[in-house]
Structure 1
Amino acid sequence: MNLLVVSNFPSGRHALAAIYLRDTLREVAGLGHRITVLAPRVWVPWPLGYVSRYAAYLKEAYHEEQEGIPVYRPAHPRPPGRWFVAHEGRSMASCSQRLIRKLHRVRRFDAVLGYAVLPYGDCAVRIGGRLSIPTACVAIGSDLHVFARMSRRTNRLARRTLSGAALVLTNSEELNRVAVEMGAAPERTRTYYKGIDLRPYEAVPEPAHARQRLGLPNHGMIVTFTGRLMRSKGVFELLEAFKRTLATHADSHLLLIGEPIELRTLKERAAELEIADRVRCPGMVPRSHIPDYLAASDLYVLPSHHEGISNGLLEAMAAGRAVVTTPVGGLTEVVRDGINGRLVQPRDATALAAVMSELLADRQQAERLGRAARETVFSRFDTRRNAAELADLVRKMSAP
């Protein structure tokens, strides 16, 4: 199978963008399928190239190979403002048209896969229509829960994309129901768990060694969050809850690891709560360091307001850490309260603090939950195994 994938992808501007998708595509390519990635980048007029926020886009190479996968990044105009979300997929498709026709003449694509309904799925459906080949679209969570709800126009666009795809894949059963409600044909909609690369977690480092390598305190409890540092991830409630846990675990530390979207506001809030000296924000750390950070942790917390299935949560579970999260989106398909983790209602800092304090005090319970969490991920969320399922689903869709 010769597959064109339309998606964001790791680049010089954002080294971790769609990094888990790259893992999956590497495994699909290893099965003998030929993958080409189209990752349109924002066109930057030359005067704006001297402005730091725009100059970052110039770090994205037009053409490169990553792990044997060719990646193309044609530029497309992207005016600032949320209003353009409804037009971005069309902009991407239009500016990629000449390149795609050239590639198609040589590679003869069998199918197109758009990763995220908006904007990449919209772009993929348009490309598939022009090439007269079937398109699969992956709904990841924020595309339907956030972008599709920005306006009536983005809602209509998401519905049109879902109904126009020959196959819709969702990363949770909850998202499957949402996609069908928005117009995806039930008989063409499947739940597909992408999973994570489990090789870095086959042998978990000793906590003391991990802390030493990272320069973390060798005493006290460490609570860790990984993900975008933004309000919808529940990080502000996490600060409030952590403040309360210090009453019984005064030597604890909180690690906030991830893209620093609202970092300044978070630091200001930590200072107001008088816990700034207990909160560390390493930012976007190298991916190879994540297993050490998780091994050094005593508890992992993801109090999201909405979520598909969090890759960061899966990594923490793979590392055998007790996890606390919320019963939203697809998270309840991974975590069962009291069995392999704990669930707390979103936006409830008081309840979150109570569960965090309980697990920090009851290490036997935390270890039991951590073992069960690890078993869950290794049995159901292995990218190497699940990539074969993805390839099979797309191949059957593209079969004459």
Structure 2
Amino acid sequence: MKRICFFAGSKSAFNILFDTLNFGWMLQEDFELDLVTTKPDELEPLAEFFEMHGSSFSSTRVGEARALARYLDRNQPDVLVNVVEPSIHGTTVGVLASRHNLPFVYRYSGDLFDLYRVSHGWRKPAQFALNNVLGRFALSTGDSYMALGPTGKMRLINHGAPPSDIGVLPPPINENRFDAIEEPDLSVPNDRKVILYAGRRSRIKGMNDLNTAIPEILKRRDDLQFVFVGSHGIDPDIPSRFQDHVTMVGRVPLGGMPSYFSAADLLVLPTYNEGLPRVVTEALCAGTPVVARDVADIASATENTFDTIDEFINMVVSFENLPLDNATPFTRSALRDDYLEFFSQF
């Protein structure tokens, strides 16, 4: 049985956990699976599908590279894959894969080639150097490529990847997480509809636009409650007369988001840079429509996209008229055969 090694290094965010967990669910019957991580305790659920390696190394850039090097000195997988960080992890995995004469699958896990365009100040040249200089080198070491959608595939082609070597493989969603969900206690008045924002709150994620849009929306509809889930970032800055229409939930325990998606009447995502965000496809799995900015591969999951703040405001005000997009193509059950076919080439 062929062996696939996934490399997560020192990264253990919830999206990494759930993506990799679903990779394991889809692939474990046909492949032997290894995971190199310096944080096995934080990724403990993955032990159901993966043999874990790298626990004795520090969670630094040097430590995670040493963990992969030690793994390759002792094991001979048939292919190596970076889970995230295509520029940094891609370089680490690509160089070590070449040294050991192993195929490397470069996973383009976010729209990083375009991140510098929406960055400001010193971050703009820094992001360009990281993702478009180092990132292009990492790309050049790949043998095959995973894109999250058609835009990701186009980015890879534009940066030199052969089209025939690219597989479009969206992040898989476990649809069973949305069965038998209990409603969260949001303390929202019964006569108000819940407009949910989930994730890190930053300028790149569209918080400035939300600060502009929320008062304009509430002037036209006072039956809406904006609920923010997530503990990181800047707080909404809106006039005091509208503050009773904003609920700050804070951090939600791992695995707790399905209940919030189900309780919401609409998910909003005004982000300026994404790949194919899990919050979009999980909201759709929960039966909740989405309004999101038309960036990267978001339009492959929902037709409810916007480009301007005015469009966003109008869509939220009349959100009951928006269609609910079909989440089935993004479930792990639907994607399993595509993943198996892609990895069967090695």
Q: Normalising TM by the smaller chain, what interval?
A: 0.7 to 0.9
Q: Which residue of 1 aligns with 2:205?
A: 233
C-alpha distance in 2 between matches for 1:191 and 1:64? 26
* 1:81 matched residue in structure 2: none
More divergent stretch after superposition (303-312 vs 277-286): 277-286
- Residue 377 (structure 1) aligned with residue 344 (structure 2): no
Give the residue type in structure 1 aligned to 2:113. L
Q: 2:106 — aligned with what?
A: 137
Equivalent position to 2:192, from 211, 220, 225: 220
State the alpha-carbon separation in 2 of the partners of residues 179 and 326 from structure 1: 21
C-alpha distance in 2, partners of 1:223/1:388?
35
Decide whether aligned partners of structure 1 residues 235 and 26 sit closer, same or farther in structure 2, where only a CA change above 3 A counts: same
Deviation (angstroms), 1:357: 0.9
Q: Quickly say closer, same or farther: Cα 1:10–1:199, change in 2 above 3 A.
A: farther
Contact 2:106 2:145 in 1 (8 A): yes
Letter in 2 for 1:4: C
Determine whether 1:23 maps to 2:21: yes
1:210: how far off?
A: 1.9
The aligned amino acid for 2:22 is T
Identity %: 16
Q: Is residue 299 of structure 1 aligned with residue 299 of structure 2?
A: no
Against the structure 1 CA distance between its residues 67 and 145, is the aligned structure 2 distance closer, same or farther, given a 3 Å change threshold? farther
How far does residue 309 in structure 1 lie from its aligned partner after superposition?
1.1
Partner of 2:165: 188
Change in 2 beyond 3 A, CA 1:186/1:100: same
Which residue does the alignment assign to 2:306? Answer: 344
2:158 aligned partner, one-letter code: E
Q: Distance in 2 between matches of 1:31 and 1:292?
A: 30
Deviation string 1:75-110 (CA, Å, 9 cap, x unpaired) is 4585xxxxxxxxx5x7743454234312x0xxx311
Aligned partner letter, 1:291: P
Question: Residue 35 of structure 1: which of 29, 33, 36 is its match?
Answer: 33
2:193 and 2:224 in contact (8 A); partners too: yes
Which residue does the alignment assign to 1:280? 247
1:337-381, Cα deviation, whole Å (9 max, x unpaired): xxxxx2211xx333322221112xxx3x24xx12xx1xx211x11
Aligned-CA RMSD value: 2.9
Correspondence 1:163 to 2:140: yes
* Equivalent residues of 1:309, 1:329 under 8 A apart: yes
Contact 1:291 1:319 in 2 (8 A): yes
- Kindly state the Cα deviation for residue 312 of structure 1 after the two structures are TM-superposed: 0.4
In 2: Cα distance, 1:8 partner to 1:277 partner: 42
Displacement of 1:142 after TM fit?
4.1
Instruction: Describe the superposition over 1:62-84 as per-residue Cα deviations: whole angstroms up to 9, x where unpaired.
Output: 99963242333454585xxxxxx
* Secondary structure in 1 matching 2:195: strand
Q: Distance in 2 between matches of 1:77 and 1:224?
A: 34
- Is 2:47 aligned against 1:66? yes
Conservation of the 8 A alpha-carbon contact between 2:10 and 2:38 = no
Q: Secondary structure at the match of 2:145?
A: strand
Q: What CA distance in whole angstroms lies between the structure 2 residues aligned with 1:17 and 1:329?
A: 17
In structure 2, stretches of 5+ residues that fail to align are 117-124
Maintained 8 Å contact 1:23/1:383: no
Q: Distance in 1 between matches of 2:11 and 2:82?
A: 16
Q: Distance in 2 between matches of 1:123 and 1:317?
A: 35
Distance 2:278 2:59 in 1: 31
Q: Give, in whole Å, the separation in 1 of the partners of 2:204 and 2:170.
A: 23
Taking the aligned partners of 2:41 and 2:93, their CA distance within structure 1 comes to 21
1:1-400 residue pairs with structure 2 within 5 A?
1-7=2-8, 11=12, 14=13, 16-40=14-38, 66-71=47-52, 72-73=54-55, 75=57, 78=60, 88=61, 92-94=64-66, 96-102=68-74, 104=75, 108-116=76-84, 117-146=86-115, 150-152=127-129, 154-201=131-178, 210=183, 213-260=185-232, 262-263=233-234, 266-267=235-236, 269-270=237-238, 272=239, 274-336=241-303, 342-345=304-307, 348-359=308-319, 363=320, 365-366=321-322, 369-370=323-324, 373=325, 376-378=326-328, 380-396=329-345, 398=346
Task: Kindly indicate whether the alpha-carbon contact (under 8 Å) linking 1:227 and 1:257 is maintained by their aligned counterparts in 2.
Answer: yes
Give 3-state SS (helix, strand or coil) of 2:6's partner: strand
Shift of 1:8: 5.3
| Structure-2 separation of matches of 1:343 and 1:29 | 33
Change (3 A) 1:319 1:77: closer
CA distance in 2, matches of 1:251, 1:7: 44
**TM norm structure 2:** 0.85
Q: How many residue pairs are counted as aligned between the two chains?
A: 335
Q: Normalized per residue, which structure has more helix?
A: 1
Tell me whether 285-294 or 273-282 shows the greater mean CA deviation: 273-282
Check conservation: 1:214, 1:292, Cα contact below 8 A.
Answer: no
Q: Distance in 1 between matches of 2:137 and 2:216?
A: 47
Letter in 2 for 1:250: D
1:315 Cα offset (Å): 1.1
